[in-house]
Structure formats: structure tokens, C-alpha cells
Structure 1
């Protein structure tokens, strides 16, 4: 008791609070005050570790907050079941959820950023542990609360749901250098991807995509959410060459179907 009293007196005379060394961010590398809530929201009581093997790449400053390019790769981890991407300071935090299945644990896309924020990816391995990486993207902001170009000019209805894709014989991922046979698939879906945060325009977005091979086997599955950019383009990587005859299928949150063949 005397030792504790002496310690409090020492802190008081030095001008420090007993809580001066407490970290309100819960050990987050970005010192984000949102992190404790994010951890509870996305992971509950599951184990979480910050892991440099989850690579998140994006611009230091987003010149166009409605189209911020991000790539995620977690090739240094084995047995990844799910990748989740989320943004601390967006009004809608969850951007996408990706199940690699036969693909590599990597995905590229563009999204809307409301203000400067850490952008994070979390990879869940088969043992139930979430491995979290991230990058800080600065921005003037406002990307989530502005209508897209096709919504403004009304052209979205004429192209809604059109999809296309292209296979590339190699992958530009630095992490894929040890996989000389790695290939890339890029797909695009025409859709306004409305966040629901613009007056008079309800949320309207692609919420499910799946790539299947010629035999109908599902190679990957993606759930996307409102912050993904208008007319989204997604890049996926595979450990080897992927044969043609692929099929991209999915839907949006209004039940409109997406179905396109990729040769």
C-alpha cells in the first residue's frame, strides 16, 4: 500500500497521469481510436494478430476519392479461408470479403474513401486466427457521399450488369515472383455502385460475384459492398495458368443477375 501511494505521489509531482502510458488504440500500429470497435465488430472474440505478411498497397494520397486503387496480397500465409477489407473512417466500413478457393490470396480493386484513413485487410487462416495488415491513405475525402458519373448522366441503366473479363499469362504481384506460372484474371462489371449516402439515391451495388471454370467448379467467391467504386474492376491471381471458358456470375442487392463468359 505504501509503495502504491509513493508511486502515485511520484506521478503527481512529475505531472503524469497514472493512465499516461495506456494505449487507447489497443496496440494498433496506426494508433487509430476506431480499432478497438473495429476489432469487436469484425472479429468478436477470435484471435487477432498484426502481420506484415498481409500486404495492403495504395496511394499515399488519393487524388480521386471515388476511385482509390488498392491491392491486397497475403501469399506468405498458408490455408487462408477469407480475406476481408475494411476502412476505419468510412461511414460504411466494410468494402469486400473474398474467398480465394482455387485462387491466390490476392485481390485488386478501387473503392470510395470518405476521409483520410487506415485501409486494412484481414486474412483468416484455417486455425481461426485473423492476420491484419494495412496502409494509411490520405485524401481530401468525400468519395462516399457523391453520386457517380453514370448516375449523374443517367447512362447507368443502359449498361447495368454488363460484365467482361480478360486472362493474363503472368501476374504483376511482387509476391508471385516465386510462382513463375502465376496468372491473372481481371473482370469488370458495369454498375453504379450507389452507397445510399447521396440524397434520393438508395443503396444499389453488386453484392456477389463468383468465377467458375468450364466444369462449373467455383474458383473464387467475392462479396462486395457499397464503398466499391462505380463500374468495378477486380483483379485476381492464380498459382498457375487458368484455362479459358470461365464464367463470371453474380447479382446485386436488388436481385439483378450477372452472367458473362470469359474466354
Structure 2
């Protein structure tokens, strides 16, 4: 089993809580461009309190698991943006945790080649805090069709949502999966076909969290979220894709 990398307070960022915005701990020449494109040129720094956990080597580049946390930043977090430097499509998703949801998530994504995987966290004052992990890989995850696309089975289960809550200290963990081929548009003859939005709502329709999704998410993507305290009654999941399909599901307790 390959070791897992965590870049945080005792990792690549060292003991300092925040490094200058152009002091990229990965020393990649493309960081200034990434900052302009994905952080709108805003004020940013590399912060030990933003952690990204992932495999040192991705054995399956089409299904790379990572866990991201900005809980150490407290209640100031408004958005978490996941970026993969060397993917042909670099933005993976944007996560907006609402009241009662911790600023942390688990996800799976496609990786084209060895790359830094970054979590950029936008605070209420508009500034960004950035953490990351380096994930090695044989690559090719973004430019080949998924299994359900190859065997045609995606049509039988498109949009099916399965979700379940698990008790944990201080609240509950929600784990969910949405059946979707998540085509990047980079495999020959297969156009882009992917989830665009996903939201979790309570019984009154109040939005607890939402995500803007992009092509690099894995086929039949799996997510996990942490809720603070007991769930506020029955929960519903709503999603849509770039072809105008809409999907709904309930959360099993």
C-alpha cells in the first residue's frame, strides 16, 4: 500500500500558518497563471490550515480519492475550489458549505498525469487560503472513456442517487454517489457530458450545501460531507448535468 500524503501544519508548508502568494511550495512555474485564472487574481497565500490528503501514487488515475479540510479556518469559509495543475481541465469542483455543514469534503477525480492537487479556500473577506498535495500517477485518466461508457451500461442507471448518513462525533457524515459517466469530452468521439450542479436541502427546501461540478470528477462520482449536529429532518439531493437532465434523491438515515 502506498503512503498517503498530507500537506498541512507539519508538511510541506512548514510551521508558518501562511506563506506569500507567489511562494508556491510545489515550485511550479504555472502557479501565477493558475492564481490569475482560478482565484481572479485575488489576494492568496499558502496556508498550513488547509489540508489535502491523497495517495502518494494513484493506482487508478480515473478514480483518485482525496480528502480536503479547511475546518481550522473556522466559520470564515465560503467556498472551496479544487484545482489540479496538470490536468487538461484543471478545475474539478467548487464547494459551498452552508450553515450546519463543515468546510470539508471527500471526492474522487480523474488525473491525467502526476500533479499538485490544490484546495483554494475563499474566506468572507474575499481572500484565498491554499493547501495542496502532490499525487503521482501513470496518468491518462482524463482522455479515455469510463467503464460504463465502454460497455453502454450508463444508460440504465443515469442519474440514480444513493446516499446515507453515518453517525460520528459531533454530527453525521453524509456519503453519496450519483450515477453518471462524467465524460470529459477529451476521449475520441465522445462529447463532454457531466454533472454541473448538486445541492443538499432540508425538509423546508433550505440549501445546506451546493457544488458546481466539472468534467474531471470521476465516473459515478462519490462524495462525503460532514454535518454539524443531528440532521435537520429529511434531506433531499438535487442535481443536474450539462445536457439539461435533472435528478433527485433522498437521504437514507
Q: Please point out which of 57, 62, 66 is paired with 2:62.
A: 66
Q: Please point out which of 85, 106, 124 is paired with 1:88.
A: 85
TM-score, normalised to structure 2, is 0.89
1:5 aligned partner: none
Q: State whether structure 2 residue 138 is matched by structure 1 residue 140.
A: yes
Cα distance between partner residues in 2 of 1:114 and 1:70: 15
Deviation at 1:115, TM superposition (A): 0.3
Contact 2:63 2:110 in 1 (8 A): yes
Contact 1:244 1:262 in 2 (8 A): no
1:252 aligned partner: 241
2:12 aligned partner: none
- Give the alignment of 1:33-112 within 5 angstroms: 33-78=29-74, 79-102=76-99, 103-112=101-110
Deviation at 1:252, TM superposition (A): 0.4
1:199 aligned partner: 188
Q: Which runs of 4+ in 1 moved over 4 A?
A: none
TM-score, normalised to structure 1, is 0.85
Cα distance between partner residues in 2 of 1:70 and 1:244: 29
Deviation larger for 240-249 or 227-236:
240-249
Deviation larger for 251-260 or 26-35:
26-35
Q: Please point out which of 25, 31, 34 is paired with 2:27.
A: 31
Deviation at 1:84, TM superposition (A): 0.2
1:238 aligned partner: 227
The structure that is strand-richer by fraction is 2
Deviation at 1:262, TM superposition (A): 1.3
Deviation larger for 28-37 or 112-121:
28-37
SS in 1 for 2:187: coil
The structure that is helix-richer by fraction is 1
> In terms of Rg, which structure is larger?
1
Cα distance between partner residues in 2 of 1:46 and 1:68: 29
1:128 aligned partner: 126
- For structure 2, the residue ranges without an aligned partner over 5 or more in a row are 1-20
Deviation at 1:244, TM superposition (A): 4.5
Q: Please point out which of 161, 164, 171 is paired with 1:163.
A: 161
Cα distance between partner residues in 2 of 1:121 and 1:232: 18
